[in-house]
Amino acid sequence: MAQARPRDLLLISAGMQECVRPLLGKLRLQCAELLECSGMAVRNPSAFHFLSVLDFPLFLPKEDDPGQLDSAHHPFTAPLPEDTHLLYSQPQCLLGHIFIERQPPLSSVD
């Protein structure tokens, strides 16, 4: 349950995830930009936040035809071995077996 207080803003959205998530992402960026234009520091442009995406979907709905699927990463990525049984019945549920080369942590001193 949200712990809203006076002057807080609660945003509730509904709709298909493929439509709602990108719109909420754009709204988040616009809100940050508006706050920064008014003098409030929201983002630190010199900060580096490393991100590694795991469980990346293998397919996503096409933008122009959501009933069709398109490769989310590239067409040569294999599904996770434990998901292969979904290939013909539920391809939208497949996760990609994306190999990540392990490297030492990034540092500012080389």
In a domain, 66, yes or no: yes
Which amino acid is present at 77? T
Of 102 and 28, the structure prediction assigns the larger pLDDT to: 28
Q: Are residues 63 and 20 in the same domain?
A: no
- Which has the higher per-residue pLDDT, 29 or 107? 29
Query: What's the total number of domains in the chain?
Result: 2
Same domain? For 78 and 93 the reply is yes
pLDDT score at 105: 58
* Containing structural domain, residue 70: 50-103
What local confidence, expressed as pLDDT, does residue 63 receive? Answer: 79
Tell me: pLDDT of 73 over 80. no
Which pLDDT value is given to residue 52?
72
Residue 108 located in a structural domain: no
